[in-house]
Chains A and B, each alone.
Chain A
Amino acid sequence: MTEDPHAIASNPPQKALPLHRQMDRIWSDLPGWRGSIASVNHGTIGLRFMATSFLFFSIGGVLAMLIRAQLATRDGAFLDTQLYNQIFTMHGSIMMFLFAIPMLEGLAMWLLPKILGARDMAFPRLGALGYWCYLFGGIIILSSLLFGVAPDGGWFMYVPLSGKTYTPGISADVWLLGVTFVEISAMAAAVEIIVTILRLRAAGMALTRMPLMGWYMLGTAAMMLVGFPPLILGSILLELERAFDWPFFDVLRGGDPMLWQHLFWLFGHPEVYIIFLPAAGVLSTIIPVFARTRILGYGAIVAAIVGLVFLSFGLWVHHMFTVGIPHMALAFFSAASALVAVPTSVQIFAWIGTMWAGRVELRLPMLHVIGFFATFVMGGLTGVMLAMVPFNWQAHDTHFVVAHLHYVLVGGFVFPILAGITYWMPMISGRFRVRALGEAAFWLIFLGFHGTFFIMHLTGLLGMPRRVDRYPDNPEWEWLNLVSSIGGMVMSVGFALFVLDIAMQWLFGRRSHRNPWKAQTMDWAMALPAPSYNFASLAGPGRHDASVTLPLARGEGLLPGAPRDRREVLVTEPGTGRPDHVAVLPGNTRLPIWTAAAVGSFFLLMLAGLYWATPLAILLILWAGWQWGGLMGSRRDAEPLAVAPGLALHEHWQVRNTLAYSGTVTLLVADATLYASLLFGVAFLTVIAPNWPPPESGLGWPVLLTGAAALLVMGLGLVASLLAEAQRAAPLGRLAALAGVAAAGLALLLLAGVAWQFDDPTRHARDALRAALLGYAGFHGVVTLMLALRSLADARQGRTSTMRRGAAPVWQLFQAFWLGTSALSLGVIALQEIG
């Protein structure tokens, strides 16, 4: 027998209880409410996300019941039209932005470290910041309903309906600003999830051997990273149009409402898969456990995930089939929409095959899995119907589409999530559930759902359009709607019973023993309820299943305990999982909530129309960002830490490829997508929009020379950032950082000079786009300036040495990105002038 070259020796066993106390003291939340808001632990933040999203789900559900009450009879007098519009808009927006996405974020945050064998997510403070942004943004959106200014243009906010002309007041601004605020949490979660999966897996856990949930979440996060920026950009552009009259969507001045539809659905369709993939991860985790076998077709499922992630970005136009797009473009997206059923089917057959090969136990989580199959497959089939252009033209904007989307979203997300909650509740609560309540809840939800939506296909085929509040001239729709409304009420009772079941389990369930389902994955390799630190020591190569509970609890794994009173985690290489270094994660802090409050103040000032005061909020955000960096870094060079016998690794301050570096690269992918979406906007309006070419600009050599000078100075800043790292132990390093600060400041001034020469952005969409491109460059200039200042502070305060690099590597990334995107933007403007 040959010895495994990657094997790592075990640490000597310790007493489990003292080790637990030591770890819990370092990793748990502080006591009291002040301690509670300072929590950054993934377990707390993940549960908060899930609980809050379920609360929003309940509110969205109540709104749905109001809709069903109104539609139960043809002359419903329950709601007036204005309120009905607000309610269906809020129902969709809440379910999408305040329930589904945050629920998956919460699940990922809570579960990933456990199932991958880690102690926390890669960026605990970022997770907490995301939660507070979500909570504050959600409260803003929800408050609008109480004050009677809720959005009422439908959850996809089409222009010109949501423009200032047809939607005066602040209702559309609530949606645009509130959703953008909430989506900060989605972007934060996407970065966190990707870096956690790629860098914090248990030692030796190769990517091709990680639990399928890891692949699903990796795919989800990658889609979020690329899918959300078009929506964020669209929201910014529409808000700029509403607030400052920049005419991106105004046809008379070179804009085009179709640009909004493209940007929205570039997000909106991948969004369906962003919601589905984590749910599919739950299914791939649960089904083998209750089928008492291994998942069938691991490789095929991973390939299907890859296929879904990419194909889902080629479908967005199927939401726009009726807007007058040429046949060939329709055919592209119709073919892609049909093709995407293939990778979905691969997964469905893999799950059926797994159940076929095993011996299925119909426990409560499996009931919800069966609910998923019965519902989602039907939703998928009606999706293929809607992918066909001729049928789509007939069914567009009818209740058939409403039925289809609920079959997909409830089947593809809600049932699997309910399965997941019932499956992981023993780990959350440490208790077994109370018998029979859950089963009753399932049947009420299942029958109520199909009672509501199955018959709605027929309502749609009979021609009932969505979003009407009365149908006095169509008595043939009435009994169908009445049945749907009764079904909806039954479903509501089911959900209420589900919540009661969870509460009963938490409060009165008897104590659960470890691993009650006899699962194989590492999330069950711990005491119940899950401790704050997950694992007292970390699993080594070849020990990535639930059988390692006791050795890990006794400290026989890697990096045992918290002997240095710090939150230490093992960072591994992305592909192989080979141990790379030890990262020291931040402890409890209230900085995330203060930062979220600073960001929130900006959104609130925008909402109130107090634009003159927004610079104060921006200063507040910059101050909070500066504090954020102040907690990082180290003033000493440390010896490598003993991780296991024969294995010593550096702390993260002394390596280059840190979690922060990986996170910045990931963030820049999202940033680049937003920029690419902006360039798409430029190209789309230039080629497609009416009322082009725009009026003469009169820009000449002075603008091009000023722009070229700005680029030159940014290039010098890049050289300074490289020098600041290369010479970090010498006085030249500090000088280079100082030069970098000066270069960033000067480049910003030169960009302001370019802006000064631009035409009024309200004149034409071309001028507005130029201002947007320059605003993008200015924003990145400010970020780069902050990073240069941080590098200078690092150098001055002794945070750099031969071994420690401070913020310089991250500064370089942003400096290069700023230079690259600014060069492209100025190139586009120059081309426009030449053309």
Chain B
Amino acid sequence: MIWMARVLAGPILWGALFSGIYGLHGLGCGLDWPTRDTPLGALHPPAMIAAWLLGLALHAALIRWNRASGDARQAMLVRAGNWIGAVASAVTLFPVIATSTCG
């Protein structure tokens, strides 16, 4: 079952990241972060971009180190799981760099 955990690691990381960043979005809007100034501009966008980039870095780490030593199909499914998670995080959360936060 460790193999199954390896397959699911990427998608689970996406799930955590998606919920976390969506939660951060709601929290930021609720606490009025877009009007709080930081050296990088309003607080909300950099906070979300930082969370996204951190998540992508974790995905990269999974792709690099999360591998299975079983048969070819097992290894393929672990690789696929890693990439499913990474692509999902990249695509579904890219709006953090593309649009306004609470508008």
Contacts and interface: CB of A to CB of B under 8 A. Distances in A.
A299 B68 CA distance: 15
A332 B15 contact: no
Given A307-B84, A326-B103, A327-B99, A335 B4 contact: no
Nearest to A300: B80
B22 A332 contact: yes
A339 B92 contact: yes
Contacts of A309: 11
Given A298-B73, A332-B22, A306 B92 contact: no
Interface of B is mostly: helix
A332 B93 contact: yes
B100 A306 contact: no
A68 to B, nearest CB: 38
A574 B18 contact: no
A252 interface: no
B73 A331 contact: no
Contacts of B85: 310
Interface in A318-333: 326-329, 331-332
A384 to B, nearest CB: 14
A328 B4 contact: no
Given A306-B7, A326-B101, A332 B95 contact: yes
Interface stretch (B26-34, B35-43, B59-67): B26-34
Interface in A672-697: 683-684, 687-688
Contacts, number: 102
Given A208-B77, A303-B81, A314 B92 contact: yes
B102 A310 contact: no
B50 interface: no
B94 A299 contact: no
Interface-centre pick from A303, A310, A313, A328 (highest chain B CB count, 10 A): A328
Interface residues of B, number: 44
Interface of A is mostly: helix
A640 interface: no
Nearest to B26: A687
Contacts of A208: 70-71, 73-74, 77
A126 interface: no
A687 B27 contact: yes
A65 interface: no
A337 to B, nearest CB: 9
B58 interface: no
A306 B81 contact: yes
A676 to B, nearest CB: 10
A575 interface: yes
Nearest to A676: B19
Interface in B69-94: 70-71, 73-74, 76-77, 80-81, 84-85, 87-88, 91-94
B80 A303 contact: yes
A310 B26 contact: no
B74 to A, nearest CB: 6
A313 B84 CA distance: 14
A582 B103 CA distance: 60
B26 A688 contact: yes
B51 interface: no
A726 interface: no
Interface residues of A, number: 30
Given A303-B81, A328-B99, A575 B25 contact: no
B32 to A, nearest CB: 11
A311 interface: yes
B84 A306 contact: yes
A575 B73 CA distance: 13
B77 to A, nearest CB: 6
Contacts of B94: 335
A207 interface: yes
A328 B103 CA distance: 8
A400 B86 CA distance: 34
B88 A310 contact: yes
Nearest to A334: B95
Contacts of A207: 3-4
A332 B12 CA distance: 17
A336 interface: yes
A344 to B, nearest CB: 13
A328 B80 contact: no
A309 B4 CA distance: 14
B23 interface: yes
A302 interface: yes
Given A328-B96, A339-B91, A303 B15 contact: no
Interface string A333-369: 0011001000100000000000000000000000000
B73 to A, nearest CB: 5
Contacts of B12: 310
Contacts of A329: 22, 25-26
Contacts of B47: none
Contacts of B48: 328
Contact of A310 (B11, B74, B91): B11
B70 to A, nearest CB: 8
A335 B92 contact: yes
Contact of B1 (A313, A327, A575): A575
A663 B85 CA distance: 28
Nearest to B29: A326
A684 B30 CA distance: 10
Given A208-B71, A310-B15, A688 B30 contact: yes
Contact of A328 (B76, B87, B102): B102
Contacts of A328: 25, 48, 95-96, 99-102
B14 to A, nearest CB: 6
A302 B74 CA distance: 11
Nearest to A684: B26
A307 B22 contact: no
18 contacts: A208-B73, A303-B84, A309-B11, A310-B85, A311-B88, A314-B15, A326-B29, A327-B100, A331-B98, A332-B18, A332-B92, A332-B93, A335-B92, A336-B91, A339-B92, A343-B84, A574-B1, A684-B26
Given A326-B101, A327-B103, A335-B92, 14 more contacts: A208-B74, A208-B77, A299-B80, A300-B80, A302-B77, A306-B80, A309-B11, A313-B15, A326-B25, A331-B95, A332-B18, A335-B93, A336-B88, A339-B92
For the complex of A and B, list the 5 residue pairs with the smallest distance between their C-beta atoms, beginning with the closest. Answer: A331-B95, A303-B80, A687-B30, A310-B11, A336-B92
